[in-house]
Amino acid sequence: MSVPPPSASPAPSLPGWSFDAVERRALRMDRARTELQHGRPLALRAGPGQPGLLIAAVETLGAAGWSRWQSGRGALRLLLSAERLQALSQRGDAEAAHLPVPTELDLAGLQALAAVQARPDQAPGGAWGLDWPAERRRAFLASAQPADAAEQAALRLAKLGPLSPALLRLALPADTLDAAVADGLVEIAPQDIEAARGAPRALLRRLSDAHVPITAHEDCTLVLFRELHGETEHLALVVGQPDRSQPVPVRLHSSCFTGDLLGSLRCDCGDQLQGAIERLAEDGGVLLYLAQEGRGTGLASKLRAYRLQDTGLDTLDADRYLGFRADERDFQAAAAMLDALGIARIRLLTNNPAKIEALRAAGIDVVDRLPLVVPSNPHNARYLATKRDRAGHLRDDEQA
């Protein structure tokens, strides 16, 4: 009697364990971001069996991480954002690029080039933080090779950290990366980072809410949203019972630990937060408290930017010195929260036209702008003037 060959039946799957393509991608993004945050290396390549790059964030590397890169000496490159290269070269047209890491450079030198020192006081030589003579600086900049699309994506991933956009970079062949990935190295494809850019609104979960009476108004509800992948949380404070048949007064407030919690005089955030809540208490409205510290650069970078401002740079030049754009925020989450709250037409309390544009682009009908005027003080006068003169903020009498 002949025995039938064993059928190649698929392995029984664990219920709830299979991810769809979008979830897989988000999972890879989560893991990749975590690796950079922890100073660990990450493989960046189009897929298994491909050559690619080993990258790590200079900001989180530390001495132990740095010593692991020593075997790559000679081939190591430093990937920097356009803004950081503009600060180093004093040229407004510099683009993101990677440059050779000199073999004798130590970790402190690398951190200086990447502008991630704990105390980035401006050295006499400007943005470099290294006592390199002019000729050496010129030669270093001349060896820059433009960042390709994958490398640009890597810089964006670092910013999502939120980390400084400065990465170590080592090109490796396919088999080396395959072996490292089999051994636990996390890998990410540039397409994953690209796809996360316009993350769909559904990637925000409404997790909980409660009645929270506050001094300005007793009838308030706090609603907590969490990004589906990752731990970032945004809050909505619904003040009173806004009439949704009319445009609802809304304030988008980007978190500012120093201003909101400590009453820092370096910015206007604390006063804006209180002023907005008082205004919303008049007819009801919604305050969206967005996890976007330091205009999206993170609190560590904001404190570095403050040190640079103490040496004479204004808020925008300080951010550029650190490798950031004038504003690293996006307002997708804000639009998603308004959607979830059933609010489509709003009156926005702001002096920042970019917020209006961003919400409109995300499909929110911004019917008009309500100015938000707060008094200045000797510590924030320059900051407010820079926002008005260089960042396009409106004065209270201007129309958006």
220 known ligand binder: no
287 binds Zn ion (CB under 5 A): no
When CB distances are held under 5 to 8 angstroms depending on the partner's kind, the choice from ligand GTP, Zn ion, none that residue 164 binds is none
Cα Rg of the chain, angstroms = 24
- Is 251 annotated in a binding site? The answer is yes
Q: How far apart are CA 40 and CA 112, in angstroms?
A: 20
Tracing tokens 């754009």 back to the chain, one arrives at 325
Which is nearest to 58 in space by CA: 102, 121, 97, 115? 115
Of 28, 33, 327, 369, the active-site residue reads 327
Q: Which does 240 bind (CB under 5 to 8 A by kind): Zn ion, ligand GTP, none?
A: none
Is 215 within any annotated ligand binding site? no
Q: How far is the CB of 293 from Zn ion (least distance, A)?
A: 9
Q: Which is nearer to ligand GTP, 98 or 387 (CB)?
A: 387
Task: For residues 112 and 84, give the distance between their C-alpha atoms in angstroms, rounded to a whole number.
Answer: 11
- Tokens for 85, please give them: 């290269």
* Least distance to ligand GTP, CB of residue 96, Å: 19
Using rule CB under 5 A, residue 170 touches Zn ion? no
Q: Which of 302, 221, 218 is nearest to 258 (CA)?
A: 302
Taking the complex as a whole, the smallest distance from the CB of residue 185 to ligand GTP amounts, in Å, to 33
The reply to whether 290 sits near Zn ion by the rule CB under 5 A is no
Task: Quote the tokens at residue 24.
Answer: 């897989």
> β-strand 233-239 against 220-227: which pairing, if any?
antiparallel
**Residue 256 binds Zn ion, judged by CB under 5 A:** yes
Catalytic residue among 329, 345, 369, 397: 329
Nearest-angstrom CA–CA distance, 101 and 78 = 6
- Provide, rounded to whole angstroms, the least separation between the CB of residue 383 and ligand GTP: 6
40 belongs to an annotated ligand binding site: no
369 known ligand binder: no
Helices (H), the chain: 21-37, 58-68, 82-89, 107-114, 134-142, 149-160, 174-182, 190-197, 269-283, 299-310, 315-321, 332-340, 353-361, 381-389
- What DSSP assignment string belongs to 354-400? HHHHHHHHTT-EEEEEE-------TTTHHHHHHHHHTS-PPPTT---
Structure tokens at 66: 């740095």
Residue from the set 80, 112, 155, 269 that interacts with Zn ion by CB under 5 A: 269
Residue of 311, 353, 317, 360 lying closest to 335 (CA atoms)? 360
- Report residue 270 as tokens: 């604390």
Among the candidate windows 63-71, 140-148, 170-178, 249-257, which touches Zn ion by CB under 5 A?
A: 249-257
Q: Is 259 in the site for Zn ion (CB under 5 A)?
A: yes
Give CA separation, 341 vs 158, 231, 244, 248, in Å: 31, 21, 10, 11
Binding residues for ligand GTP, rule: CB under 6 A, are 253-256, 267, 269, 272, 292-295, 297, 302, 305, 315, 319, 350-352, 355, 372, 387, 393
315 annotated ligand-binding residue: yes
CB of 399 to ligand GTP, least distance (A): 14
In sequence order, the β-bridge partners of residue 43 are 54, 187
- Indicate the residue among 81 and 351 with the shorter CB distance to ligand GTP: 351
CB of 266 to ligand GTP, least distance (A): 6
Burial label for 52, CB within 10 Å (0-12, 13-18, 19+), is buried
Nearer to Zn ion, 88 or 273 (CB): 273
Q: Please report how close the Cβ of residue 274 comes to Zn ion at its closest, in angstroms.
A: 13
Ligand-binding annotation for 159, yes or no, is no
Count CB-CB contacts under 10 A for residue 307: 16
Q: Do the beta carbons of residue 248 and residue 345 sit within 8 Å?
A: yes
Please say if 329 is a catalytic residue: yes
Q: Find the binder of Zn ion among 267, 286, 288, 290 (CB under 5 A).
A: 267
Closer by beta carbon to Zn ion, 151 or else 293: 293
* Residue 350 partner contact from Zn ion, ligand GTP, none using kind-dependent CB cut-offs of 5 to 8 Å: ligand GTP
Q: Is 278 annotated as a binding residue?
A: no
Question: How many residues interact with Zn ion (rule CB under 5 A)?
Answer: 4
252 is in an annotated binding site: yes
Which residues contribute to the site for Zn ion (CB under 5 A)?
A: 256, 259, 267, 269
Active site positions, annotated: 327, 329
Annotated binding site for GTP: 251-255, 272, 293-295, 315, 350, 355
Binding-site annotation, residues: 251-256, 267, 269, 272, 293-295, 315, 350, 355
Binding residues for Zn(2+): 256, 267, 269
